[in-house]
Amino acid sequence: MKPAQVAVIGAGYAGIAAAVELARRDHRVTLFEAGRVAGGRARRLGQAPRGLDNGQHLLLGAYRETLALMRSVGADPDRLLLRHPLALDVAGGVGLRLPAWPAPLHVLAGLATATGLDRSARARLLAAMLRLQLARFRVPAGMTVAAWLAATGQGPALVDGFWTPLVLAAMNTPPAKADMQILANVLRDSLAAGRAASDLLIPRTDLSALLPEPAIAWLGARGHAYRPGCRVQRIVPVDAGVDVDGQHFDGCVLATAPQHLSALLPADRSFDDLRSRVNSIAFQPIYTVYLRARTGARLPLPMMGLAGGIAQWVFDRGQFSDQEDLFAVVISGPGAHEAWDHAEIGQRVAAELAQQWPQLDGVEVLKVIAERRATFSCEAGMQRLRTDTPHARLRLAGDGVQNEYPATIEGAVRSGLTAARALDAGLKQENRT
């Protein structure tokens, strides 16, 4: 049987996953990317090896599909990722460190010894996690994280010092809006799974070199096409496939960010409902502040949290990459900082770091990156997009397309695999009939 010619539009993590999966299934792939650097919203800014990432991302040991995809294209996770037992230390808040014990003892020990909490608060935290596990990590449909926290009696110290930083890091959505079922899925696959599933995996390299660029090299070595700097303008469904800017393909996976998706959907009226749902998606911002400290400055851990200010998580990049004395500060979700200019944001972040860690006094603000639509708003009761469209040979992928995770690298990879497998199955079914 002659291989099908398929297009994948968007070389973010979803598009990369779809392209590799379609290539594995013996289709001929053309991968389009509007930018010059692959990775989508998790990419390198500027040239390797010294370019900064457009945001500080991390993975979990539970990200099985991402890790498997990395291995399949020759990107060794053991070399490219720093694996660290889960440690959520929030200065001015709660400290939780999981020992390297067998599951579930590691979680029980970590919860029982959490710092920054009195005995009563630790008991409530442990009881809430046990309650969630007994419910098999299922909660009522449409429940917010805030509603679940209230129902389990978590109290202000736990909500402000532990749950809010965790929810913003995992979902980039405030607890009052965030979908508790999605958070439960993340907790199920990390804290409630094998011990290694809860490990933090911090990229040692830039985000484009972590997976997208090795995957593109893997595709190129097998004769597939990659077209960087090629912004697709028009997609037209036809009886035997999809035309992409006038070039015919037997099928297509559309894997762009939601804010770019509406303009690319076919003008056919059968797509009006899908276009309306895409246009209704709400977004949440992420700001990343890069700072240079004096030589030899270090944090106690590669990743530390802050409470009570605008800075939430601080990454000491010298502990996991070759970027010595470089610190990345993440501000997730909405806040007053959105109205400030970058200079003010940088100054305030620098002051917060110096107040908490004197060794970081006098840091130089290098760059403030504002991704105002960094992720979709993972709100309770929201209807995620589906991979299928009104045209059987056009599939959708991206972290906002239906899967069990929030806007994460793993969610994007899973959606890309799902779209590729659905397109493959449809193409092969049509050939059989």
Please compute the mean of the pLDDT values over residues 100-108 and round it to a whole number.
Answer: 85
pLDDT, position 432: 66
Please compute the mean of the pLDDT values over residues 6-11 and round it to a whole number.
Answer: 98
Distance between CA atoms of 397 and 423, rounded to whole angstroms?
Answer: 11
Collapsing DSSP to helix, strand or coil, 303 comes out as strand
Q: Which residues 6+ apart lie within 8 Å of 19 measured at CB? A: 8, 11, 29, 31, 215, 219, 224, 253, 416, 420
* pLDDT band at residue 47 under the 50/70/90 scheme: confident
Mean pLDDT: which of 10-14, 101-105, 191-195 is highest? 10-14
| 17 and 413 Cβ atoms separated by less than 8 Å | yes
Question: Which among 46, 38, 32, 48 has a CA at the least distance from the CA of 13?
Answer: 38
Distance between CA atoms of 69 and 117, rounded to whole angstroms?
Answer: 40
| 161 and 175 Cβ atoms separated by less than 8 Å | no
114: pLDDT strictly greater than 80: yes
pLDDT, position 193: 87
Q: For the chain, how many residues are written?
A: 433
Please compute the mean of the pLDDT values over residues 211-232 and round it to a whole number.
Answer: 98
Answer left, alpha or beta for residue 356, where phi above 0 means left and psi between -120 and 50 means alpha: alpha
pLDDT, position 307: 85
Determine what percent of the chain falls in helix, strand and coil, rounding each to the nearest 5.
40, 25, 40
Distance between CA atoms of 143 and 251, rounded to whole angstroms?
Answer: 38
Q: What is the pLDDT of residues 269-284, one digit of tens each?
A: 999 999 999 999 999 9
Domains, the chain, ranges and CATH?
5-79+205-281+381-432 (3.50.50.60), 86-198 (no CATH), 283-376 (3.90.660.10)
Question: Which among 39, 54, 60 has a CA at the least distance from the CA of 406?
Answer: 60
Helices assigned H by DSSP within 245-338: 258-264, 272-279
Percent of the chain beyond pLDDT 70? 98
- Strands (DSSP E) contained in 197-301 are 200-203, 225-228, 235-238, 241-244, 247-249, 251-254, 283-292
pLDDT, position 124: 94
* pLDDT band at residue 103 under the 50/70/90 scheme: confident
| Residue 310 C-beta-side C-alpha neighbours within 13 Å | 20
pLDDT, position 50: 65
294: pLDDT strictly greater than 80: yes
Distance between CA atoms of 196 and 100, rounded to whole angstroms?
Answer: 9
R_g of the chain, CA atoms, integer Å: 22
pLDDT, position 316: 96
Please compute the mean of the pLDDT values over residues 229-252 and round it to a whole number.
Answer: 96
- Strands (DSSP E) contained in 37-125 are 44-45, 52-53, 59-60, 81-84, 87-91, 95-97
Percent of the chain beyond pLDDT 90? 84
